[in-house]
């Protein structure tokens, strides 16, 4: 019986892995596409982040509805809807290249954000269900998370290669990457439609209960945690996005870019995401020995040091890194400050888990509601980069990283002080 189940669910498990990778692939497209639209439509730095903003702000609209869909129609149907929406969103972004329209591109990014939010809501529990829960379910989720990081590493390198000269690139140049995304969405949709998925944890209609006078928002450490997660996603996205803009901008630009080829810049950004994967593996290994509070305190402090070095290190001082140049990998010289910004991936990798654990600690029956609110706060990944883009327009790319410094300082405060539960008098059973 068990062997039959494993045989039957191998294909849908592979499809879930593909979707896990697609979440970061489609989300990651907004980074190199931001460089393209900045040059193609001659927009300001803050406007180049509007696609990223549209993608993440969709989470604020879709977080709670996605949870309700999961309860009402189950994992499979929610996943099918999410895949269809994702196919449409990426398709609209492709059409924006054909039409040469910035507005159509933003609409596609926004619709893609709806899909990513729904997929984030459904993929983790579905993999756990397909694995039969327990250690096997967790193992599948860890494998999926690794593919997510690998995908995030590949997409800036791939699109950077397709762009060629960033100054002359258009969205149409990135069409092959968009076709890959649409093709995977189409294949996964057909396979999932044909396969029966177990849903033993589908939530039934809840019995009427007395109205609760408290909620997750009654806890100070949870409220501050939602602010922290809002800020964190902005940090995670802002560091590589503006590194890409800084590296590909013309050296004589008002914002003092480096004039690097798009493929090489994309490779450096890909290294940031690769280091996030390394950081997650390291965090997983020491997670049983070191508390979330200590982890978050350490990585917040270390990230502040790295970003300060990134801001103040002279751009004339260089180090050597393995970078994809468009024809192959080579050791090339890059500004030493950029190397430190890339190392921030090691720090941002474990922040989400640390913040989440600290924020829901002691919430008891309010934990599930808290998780839904957390998903909505992912929209910070779209809003904070807009602020950073505005600062970049005024003061330059490297100066815009002061937005990141202030944000990291809040995470440090949260780890040390804000994460303490001061509402232990609220019943949570």
Q: Do 57 and 103 fall into the same domain?
A: yes
- In sequence order, the β-bridge partners of residue 344 are none
Q: Do 256 and 168 fall into the same domain?
A: no
Q: Do 309 and 229 fall into the same domain?
A: yes
Query: What span, in angstroms and rounded, lies between the C-alpha atoms of 47 and 109?
Result: 13
Flag whether 364 is in a domain.
yes
Among the candidates 169, 197, 225, a domain finishes at 197
Q: Do 162 and 223 fall into the same domain?
A: no
Q: Do 221 and 193 fall into the same domain?
A: no
Q: Do 39 and 96 fall into the same domain?
A: yes
Rg (CA), the chain: 21
Among the candidates 150, 169, 197, a domain finishes at 197
Among the candidates 170, 197, 224, a domain finishes at 197
Report the pLDDT value the prediction gives residue 206, as an integer from 0 to 100: 44
Report the pLDDT value the prediction gives residue 249, as an integer from 0 to 100: 82
Q: Do 224 and 341 fall into the same domain?
A: yes
| Domain containing residue 65 | 1-197
Query: What span, in angstroms and rounded, lies between the C-alpha atoms of 300 and 290?
Result: 15
Flag whether 206 is in a domain.
no
Q: Do 259 and 143 fall into the same domain?
A: no
* Residue reference for tokens 């940090």: 235
Within the chain, which residues score under 70 in pLDDT? Answer: 1-8, 124-125, 128-129, 131-143, 145, 163-167, 198-212, 252-256, 284, 287-288, 323-329, 367-369, 371-372
CA 71 to chain centre: 24
Are 150 and 28 in contact by the 8 Å Cβ rule? The answer is no
Q: Do 167 and 229 fall into the same domain?
A: no
Report the pLDDT value the prediction gives residue 406, as an integer from 0 to 100: 97
Query: What span, in angstroms and rounded, lies between the C-alpha atoms of 36 and 38?
Result: 5
Q: Do 228 and 187 fall into the same domain?
A: no
Report the pLDDT value the prediction gives residue 301, as an integer from 0 to 100: 97
- Specify the number of domains making up the chain: 2
**Which two three-digit tokens encode residue 425?**
């008098």
Flag whether 210 is in a domain.
no
Task: Name the strand (E) or helix (H) holding 54.
Answer: helix 50-99
Burial class (CB in 10 A: 0-12, 13-18, 19+), 143: middle
Q: Do 172 and 84 fall into the same domain?
A: yes
Flag whether 429 is in a domain.
no
Report the pLDDT value the prediction gives residue 8, as an integer from 0 to 100: 61
The domain that holds 273 is classified in CATH as 1.20.1250.20
Flag whether 340 is in a domain.
yes
Flag whether 77 is in a domain.
yes
Flag whether 427 is in a domain.
no
DSSP letters spanning 305-340? HHHHHHHHS-TT-EEEEEEE-SSSEEEEEEEHHHHH
Give the single-character DSSP code of 1.
-
How many angstroms separate the Cα of 310 from the Cα of each of 2, 272, 318, 390, 392? Answer: 53, 14, 12, 19, 15
Q: Do 286 and 370 fall into the same domain?
A: yes
Flag whether 300 is in a domain.
yes
Query: What span, in angstroms and rounded, lies between the C-alpha atoms of 423 and 409?
Result: 24
């Amino acid at each position: 019986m068990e062997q039959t189940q494993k045989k039957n669910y191998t294909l849908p498990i592979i499809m879930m892995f593909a979707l896990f990778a697609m979440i970061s692939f489609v989300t990651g497209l907004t980074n190199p596409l931001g460089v393209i639209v900045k040059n193609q439509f001659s927009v300001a730095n803050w406007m180049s982040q509007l696609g990223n903003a549209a993608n993440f702000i969709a989470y604020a609209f879709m977080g709670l509805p996605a949870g309700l869909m999961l309860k009402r129609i189950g994992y499979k149907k929610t996943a099918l809807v999410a895949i269809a929406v994702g196919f449409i969103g990426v398709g609209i972004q492709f059409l924006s290249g054909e039409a040469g329209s910035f507005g159509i591109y933003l609409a596609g990014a926004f619709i893609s954000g709806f899909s990513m939010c729904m997929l984030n809501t459904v993929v983790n529990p579905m993999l756990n269900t397909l694995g039969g829960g327990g250690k096997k379910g967790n193992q599948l989720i860890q494998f999926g998370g690794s593919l997510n990081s690998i995908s995030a590493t590949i997409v800036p390198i791939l699109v950077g290669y397709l762009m060629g000269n960033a100054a002359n690139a258009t969205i149409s140049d990135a069409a092959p990457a968009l076709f890959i995304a649409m093709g995977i969405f189409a294949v996964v949709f057909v396979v999932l439609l044909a396969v029966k998925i177990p849903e033993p944890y589908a939530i039934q209609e809840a019995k009427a209960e007395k109205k609760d006078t408290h909620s997750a928002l009654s806890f100070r450490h949870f409220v501050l945690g939602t602010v922290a997660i809002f800020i964190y996603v902005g940090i995670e996205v802002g560091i590589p996005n503006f590194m890409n803009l800084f590296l590909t901008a013309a050296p004589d630009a008002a914002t003092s870019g480096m004039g690097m080829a798009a493929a090489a810049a994309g490779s450096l950004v890909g290294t940031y995401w690769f280091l996030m994967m390394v950081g997650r593996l390291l965090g997983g290994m020491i997670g049983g020995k070191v508390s979330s509070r200590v982890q978050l305190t350490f990585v917040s402090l270390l990230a502040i040091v790295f970003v300060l070095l990134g801001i103040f290190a002279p751009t004339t001082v260089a180090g050597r890194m393995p970078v994809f140049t468009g024809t192959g990998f080579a050791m090339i010289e890059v500004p030493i400050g950029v190397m430190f910004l890339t190392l921030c991936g090691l720090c941002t990798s474990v922040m989400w888990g640390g913040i989440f654990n600290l924020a829901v600690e002691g919430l008891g029956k309010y934990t599930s509601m808290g998780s839904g609110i957390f998903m909505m706060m992912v929209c910070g990944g779209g809003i904070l980069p807009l602020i950073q883009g505005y600062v970049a327009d005024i003061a330059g790319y490297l100066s815009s990283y002061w937005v990141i410094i202030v944000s990291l300082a809040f995470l440090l405060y949260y780890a040390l002080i804000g994460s303490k539960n001061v509402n232990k008098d609220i019943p949570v059973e």
